[in-house]
Amino acid sequence: MRKALILLTLLAGCSREPEPGNGQAVHREPRPQRTVGQLRSLTGLYESGDRRSPSQLCIIQRRRSADFGLVIRGPGTASCAGSGTVRRIGRRLRFTMAGESRCTLNATIDHLSIVMPASAPRGCAYYCGSPARPTNVRLTRNGGTKDAALRAKDPVGEPLCSGESGSGHKSTSLQHRRRH
Q: Is residue 97 part of a domain?
A: yes
User: Which structural domain range is residue 126 located in?
Assistant: 44-177
**pTM higher than 0.75, yes or no?**
no
Asked if pLDDT for residue 180 goes beyond 50, the answer is: no
All residues at 6 or more sequence positions from 66 whose CB lies less than 8 Å from its CB, including other chains: 42, 43, 59, 60, 85, 86, 87, 88, 168
Q: How many domains does the chain have?
A: 1
20 DSSP β-pair partners: none
Torsion 162-166-171-173 (CA) sign: negative
Residue 100 resides in a domain: yes
Q: Which residue from 70, 107, 115, 71 is spatially nearest to 88, judged by alpha carbons?
A: 107
Using 50, 70 and 90 to split pLDDT, how confident is the model at 136?
very high
pLDDT digits (tens, 9 = 90+) for 19-39: 444 444 444 433 333 334 567
Could you tell me which residue, 168 or 139, shows the higher pLDDT? 139
The answer to whether residue 147 is domain-embedded is yes
Residue 51 located in a structural domain: yes
50 in a structural domain: yes
Whole-number average pLDDT of the chain: 78
**38-42, 87-91, 113-117: least confidently modelled range:** 38-42
